[in-house]
Amino acid sequence: MSMQFRDLKRQYEHIKGAVDSSIQSVIDCAAFISGSPVKNLEITLASYTGSKHCINCGNGTDAITIALRALLDDIPREQWKDRAVFVPDFTFFSTGECPAELGLPVYFVDVRRDTYNMDPEALQDTIERVIKEKQHKPSVVIAVDLFGQPAEYDKLRVICDKYDMKLIEDAAQGFGGRINDKLACSFGDISTTSFFPAKPLGCYGDGGAIFTDDDRYADLIRSIAVHGKDTSNLSDPMSKYNNVRIGYNSRLDTIQAGVLNAKFPVFRDEELSSVNRVAEKYNSLLSDTSLGLPKILDGCYSSWAQYTVQLPEDVDRDAVQEKLKTDGIPTMVYYKKPMHKQEAFRNTVGENCLCPVTEELCERVLCLPIHPYLEQSEVEMVCGKLKRVL
């Protein structure tokens, strides 16, 4: 069978028994929304990440939007247009889309060339510029654990405290990563993740989760995610028909919770170490090339949502991808366009952000196949062919 960029079929073969029976038990109960599988998953993931609360929701995009709504709850909506949100320029679209959709001005921050994550110095500079311009008040930072490695939360937290800003961790790609003993999804005032199938911990459709240690935020999140329901007396079954604010319909399907309950132990006990072995193999086989390799900072552990290299300046990326494709090797480019150059951000403050590192990365990055079920011999083949093509 041909090589897959992320082989979900191979994964399913490995965990079929547990997943099938978990899905079947949800169907047998005919309880398709909420119920004990969702509750159990929340308990498992809160305990794993070391967060006091985990609230499941519809997807990783909703998770960011709901997190922002909770953080800004005490600020009247008319003032949101004056509240600056800072997101990395090199990320998936949702990170900037969610604050923009709520009417918040979005400023893009450049990333580090070696880790691909938000550059704390660039964040500091961008905040200072916004303060000088006196147009918007710096309010929220959304940092991203890009490709699986947590952002530099020690430094980002110092900056957020200095300017009295809130911090969201977008760990859509970072679930399972950590800094020393602290796990991803525990670094933000509110942290979010996605269970989109290709993410480190994926379900079989859309899904997401929101994490916080703060009881008040947790209450707000539970309310906002389900039509603004009254969460003050959850033992009253009619309280969900008491709507105290405008919210969304963003729940995790019970079948998806069943899939995740079955997959999680395998993810924690096998897949994280397997995918790290794949990354180590890439690192060692590619160390003698002219490629820029992904850097994992001291004390950090990545869940390797992607293995992303940088091609030398004089290499034609399209041609490399085409040749590898002919050899049966799928590759991807995450991301081709800086956020500040997306059409959707034209004529906004974001358009004028200077992010030279992101611009260069967008020209040169190439993502190689990676997943926990990729064999060492397959990594050898990918590296051999890549070296020949270069």
Ligand X SMILES: *Cc1c(COP(=O)(O)O)cnc(C)c1O
Chain residues in the site for ligand X (CB under 6 A): 59-61, 91-92, 94-95, 144, 170, 172-173, 194, 196, 206, 208
Q: How far is the CB of 295 from ligand X (least distance, A)?
A: 19
Indicate the residue among 95 and 212 with the shorter CB distance to ligand X. Answer: 95
Query: Cα dist. 110→12, 238, 338 in Å?
Result: 38, 48, 9
Q: CB of 274 within 8 A of CB of 304?
A: no
Q: How far is the CB of 195 from ligand X (least distance, A)?
A: 7
Alpha carbons within 13 angstroms on the beta-carbon side of residue 363 total 9
Q: How far is the CB of 125 from ligand X (least distance, A)?
A: 23
- Give Dmax over CA atoms of the chain in angstroms: 66
Tokens standing for residue 240: 């969900």
Q: Which of 273, 285, 278, 266 is nearest to 371 (CA)?
A: 278
Q: How far is the CB of 334 from ligand X (least distance, A)?
A: 8
Query: Cα dist. 148→23, 295, 307 in Å?
Result: 28, 11, 9
Indicate the residue among 94 and 212 with the shorter CB distance to ligand X. Answer: 94
Indicate the residue among 7 and 206 with the shorter CB distance to ligand X. Answer: 206
**Sheet bearing 182-183, strands edge to edge:** 182-183, 178-179, 300-301
Q: How far is the CB of 155 from ligand X (least distance, A)?
A: 19
Indicate the residue among 67 and 144 with the shorter CB distance to ligand X. Answer: 144
Distance, CA of 157 to CA of 153 (rounded, Å): 6
Tokens standing for residue 208: 């997401």
Distance, CA of 369 to CA of 329 (rounded, Å): 8
By beta carbon distance, the residue nearest ligand X is: 60
Indicate the residue among 61 and 303 with the shorter CB distance to ligand X. Answer: 61
Q: CB of 329 within 8 A of CB of 5?
A: no
Indicate the residue among 88 and 138 with the shorter CB distance to ligand X. Answer: 88
Indicate the residue among 165 and 184 with the shorter CB distance to ligand X. Answer: 184
Q: How far is the CB of 199 from ligand X (least distance, A)?
A: 6
Q: How far is the CB of 118 from ligand X (least distance, A)?
A: 11
Q: Which of 270, 255, 261 is nearest to 14 (CA)?
A: 270
